[in-house]
Chains A and B, each alone.
Chain A
Amino acid sequence: MRMKRYLGLVLLITIALMAMPAANHGSNAVKPVSAQGEKIKVYTSWPLSGGTQAVGESMLKAAELALAHYEEDHDGAGPAGFEVEIVGLDDASPTTGAWDGTIEAENAQRCVNDPECMVYFGTYNSGAAKVSMVITNEAGIAQISPANSYAGLTRACETCAEGEPDIYRPSGEVNYFRTNGTDDFQGPSDAAWAVCLGFESVYILDDTQAYGKGLADEFERHAEEIGLEVAGRASVESTDIDFRALLTDVLASGADLVFGGFVLDSGGPQVIQQMFELGLFEEDVYFMGPDGMASPALFDQIGGVEIANDYVYISFPGPLPSTLESEAGVRFYQGYVDTYDEEPDPYAIYAYQSMLVILDSIERAGVADRAAILEAMRNTTEFEGLSATFGFDENGDATVSGFYGYAVGDDTFIDGTLITPTMHETCEVASD
């Protein structure tokens, strides 16, 4: 009896040891996988539950739509004759409702361990990308993000941490790409935009996360350069729901604008709601937020769009879905609305566009080989996206990216304008 148990244990350990090489030898996984494979899998990883669930689900739908449109254009065939399957993974933790590094690492590892996984498609949160990039880089798998906007992921910048981005590239090769613009561009654009909107003094808040704090830092740096007074700077605990004391300080500071480096699940909606409750809007203090809050879900979370009307500004890396003008853009928007009977989330644009880049790379590589597909993606040039034609530079960033600023009014996002870090030089400052 005792012997049997012992044997069982030995068997278990043996099985565990056999399963391990796949996990540990990720760095050797560059070796070609049989090119005769009929199927190619693309693993997506971003929150499909929690505070950004609505965004994540919309992005996944957009990726599926891109695949459907691609096959439609190629007589039902996938790129290079392969059948492409999208495997949607969730990187949000059920206990916090926000992205989780451990789960993200597991997701990336799953892709590495699956010989059919050729491209890792994610993440939404820049902090999560810091975790998975290292894993996909060591394995030599192409990773493309539909949303990461932290600059340090692809290149060194003034407010980035030391050693970035090399710390995310242990192999020394570039394997990570993105089709959207970055915070070191968005923060300064927002600051210049604020000047053009007539604001004179800003109170800057952030949620202490890679994305939110990075963005707030960039905003602050540029604001000081262009003469927009910074009345105060504070970080909040993203799980707190009571920001009244902090907002009292904001009101006392004399700032006429609050810039918040937040995403939907890190306190941004509460700040807007309590600014309204405490009468900050009444006192003509406005709120400006970044692309992480650019979603119709924001209006539900603050308990009704009417409190945000006329007092909230949001920037986004590109035109919003309904305002896309290119042929591909209109096809995406109409296709999405017709297929899913709902408005796409703004980030669905980038999920759709990035998925098309993935399919194009597979087509050009022609084989189910991680290294070949990565090489093809790296050589993407003159790619016709939804709002611009772009390629990837040596860092993996899109060569063209522009931010748009929107006001909240008439219960939706209105008045989209192209915003740039230098727009304050030429704009006509509103007289009021």
Chain B
Amino acid sequence: MSIDNQVFIQNVIIGLTVGGYLALIALGYTMVYGIIELINFAHGDLFAFGFFISLTIFAEINPEIPLHGSDLYFTLPAVALLTMLLTGSLNLAIDQIAYKPLRKAPRLAPLLTAVGISFMLEAIYAIWKGPIQIPYPRYFPKEDYMENEHVISFFSKLGMDITEWRIVSFTTKDLFLFGVTIPLVALLTLFIDRTRIGKAMRASAQDREAAMMMGINVNRIIASTFFVGGALAGVAGMVWGLYINSGRFTMGFEAGLMAFTSAVLGGIGNIRGAVLGAFIIGMIKAMSDSYIGSEWTRVVIFGILILMLVFRPSGILGSTQSIEKL
């Protein structure tokens, strides 16, 4: 296979990995918007919190690097659950303290509060871990499937010699990233589709007052939306840390902007739109970095955002005031 094709395949893999973690963040943006019409600008920083808190928990446990045996099958999921719990709780607390009292205020008020929370969190991270590049130890065992003899013999039966594809790599880490993000996205969709709380969320999004009159505890529903959104962003931060092994206190801002753009691209308030948007943005980022030049990537991404807002403000799959139209 030619070098150009290999580069393209590798970029598709990179685009999908970026899309995977962006999707988890974008879901939080879109859910919160769907239910209280707030663009929660602090949401990206919860992603960073997931990164930092999981790093801290791992440092406390101090497992052998790379993880193996029981550490891999029990400690890792336990850390993930704890990270989700803590990040979800943080998001819940932020809502209770900073957004809830402003529920009836003009929309600009909670929006500005959200921006304020975002700056606060970033400053706290900078004090906590230092405003420098933070290495995330290579906990997750890495093996390149392109060098695995079973994979090589499988492809050679198809008449392809993948040992010559020196550009393409697909490792256990890539699989891990997909293995966490895709099932979580699917689970969330099912959760909103099938469960009572999910139904209540859809009802509250559609018409808060009517839902209240039907006996739904809307405050509790909003609280659970924040919790779930935060937990997803938190686990995204942890998975991304294990994957890319590096971060900094502003990483949430960067990721948040991309995820927000994804949510708008797909149609804000629309769950499937957020996921689709995230994968499109991930793909654009990878292709732009490689083919246009990474200095142009932001121009391309935000150019698309502006075009979308001007010509199709409802996004690809259609925005919705409610998350009912799944």
Interface locus among B75-83, B134-142, B187-195, B202-210: B134-142
Q: In the complex, A274→B144 CA distance in Å?
A: 15
- Asked if A114 lies at the interface with its beta carbon under 8 angstroms from chain B, I say no
A95 touches B295 (CB 8 A): no
Q: How far is the CA of A301 from the CA of B246 in the complex (A)?
A: 8
Whether B200 is near chain A, meaning CB under 8 Å from some CB there, is: no
Is B3 an interface residue when CB atoms closer than 8 A count as contact?
Answer: yes
The range of chain B's interface size is 35 or more
Interchain CA distance A85-B145 in the complex, whole Å: 61
A269 at the interface (CB under 8 A from B): yes
Q: Contact mask A82-118 → B, CB, 8 Å, 1/0?
A: 0000000000101111000000000000000000000
Q: Cβ of A302: which chain B residues have Cβ within 8 Å of it?
A: 133, 135
B167 lies within 8 A of A252 (CB): yes
Residues in A with CB closer than 8 Å to B153 are none
Of all chain B residues, which has the CB nearest A52? B132
Contacts of A279 in B (CB 8 A): 144, 169
Please tell me if the beta carbons of B130 and A53 are within 8 angstroms of each other in the complex: yes
How close is A110's CB to chain B, nearest CB, in angstroms?
23
Which residues of B have CB within 8 Å of A244? 14, 286, 289
Contact status A249-B7, CB under 8 Å: yes
Contact with B along A261-286 (1 / 0, CB 8 A): 00011000110011001110001000
Check: A167 CB closer than 8 A to any chain B CB: no
| A239: B residues at CB distance < 8 A | 248, 250, 254
Measured between beta carbons, the chain A residues less than 8 angstroms from B285 are 242, 245
Is B289 in contact with A246, judged by CB distance below 8 angstroms? yes
Contact A242 B167 (CB under 8 A): no
| Bound-complex Cα distance A200 to B251 (A) | 36
In the bound complex, residues from chain A placing their C-beta under 8 Å from that of B137 are 303
Task: Answer whether residue A234 sits at the interface, using C-beta atoms and an 8 A cutoff.
Answer: yes
Taking a contact as CB atoms closer than 8 A, the residue among B126, B135, B288, B298 that contacts A273 in the complex is: B135
**When the two chains form their complex, are residues A303 and B290 in contact, meaning their CB atoms are under 8 A apart?**
no
Min Cβ gap B299→A in Å is: 10
In this complex, what residue of B is CB-closest to A252?
B7
Complexed CA–CA distance, A416 and B195 (Å): 66
The residues of B that contact A269 with a CB separation of less than 8 Å are 133, 246
Tally A-B pairs: CB < 8 A.
Answer: 121
Are B166 and A300 in contact (CB-based, < 8 A)? no
A210 to chain B, nearest CB (A): 15
A34-67 vs B: 1/0 string, CB under 8 Å?
0000000000000001110100000000000000
Task: Report chain A residues within 8 Å CB of B295.
Answer: 208, 234-237
Whether A246 contacts B290 by the Cβ 8 Å rule is yes
A322 surroundings in chain B (CB, below 8 A): none
Q: Are B18 and A97 closer than 8 Å at their CB atoms?
A: no
Q: Is B116 an interface residue (CB 8 A)?
A: no
What chain B residues lie within 8 Å of A97 (beta carbons)? 126, 131-132, 248-250
Supposing A252-B3, A252-B6 touch, asked if A243 and B294 sit within 8 A by C-beta, the answer is yes
Is A337 engaged at the interface, CB distance under 8 Å to the other chain? no
Whether B119 contacts A248 by the Cβ 8 Å rule is: no
Q: Knowing A241-B248, A251-B166 are in contact, say whether A235-B293 is a contact too (CB < 8 A).
A: yes
A304 at interface by CB-CB < 8 Å: yes
B10 within 8 Å of A (CB atoms): yes
CB distance from A200 to the nearest CB of B (A): 17
Find the A residue at minimum CB distance from B119: A95
> Taking the complex as formed, is A240 at the interface, i.e. its CB lies under 8 A from any CB of chain B?
yes
CA distance A301 to B250 in the complex (A): 15
Q: Which 3 A-B pairs have the closest CB atoms?
A: A303-B135, A97-B131, A245-B289
Q: Name 19 A/B residue pairs within 8 A (Cβ), A-sorted.
A: A94-B123, A94-B131, A95-B122, A96-B250, A97-B126, A234-B295, A240-B294, A241-B254, A246-B290, A248-B10, A252-B6, A264-B132, A265-B133, A270-B246, A273-B245, A283-B166, A301-B135, A303-B246, A304-B135
A residues sitting closer than 8 Å to B (CB atoms) are 49-51, 53, 92, 94-97, 208, 234-237, 239-246, 248-249, 251-252, 264-265, 269-270, 273-274, 277-279, 283, 297, 300-304
What is the interface of chain B, defined by CB distance below 8 A to chain A? 3-4, 6-7, 10-11, 14-15, 18, 119, 122-123, 126, 130-133, 135-138, 142, 144, 166-167, 169, 244-251, 254, 285-291, 293-295, 297-298
Q: What would 17 more interface pairs be, CB under 8 Å, given A97-B250, A243-B289, A303-B137? A: A49-B131, A51-B131, A51-B132, A97-B131, A234-B293, A239-B254, A241-B248, A241-B254, A245-B14, A245-B285, A245-B286, A246-B290, A252-B4, A252-B6, A270-B133, A283-B166, A304-B135
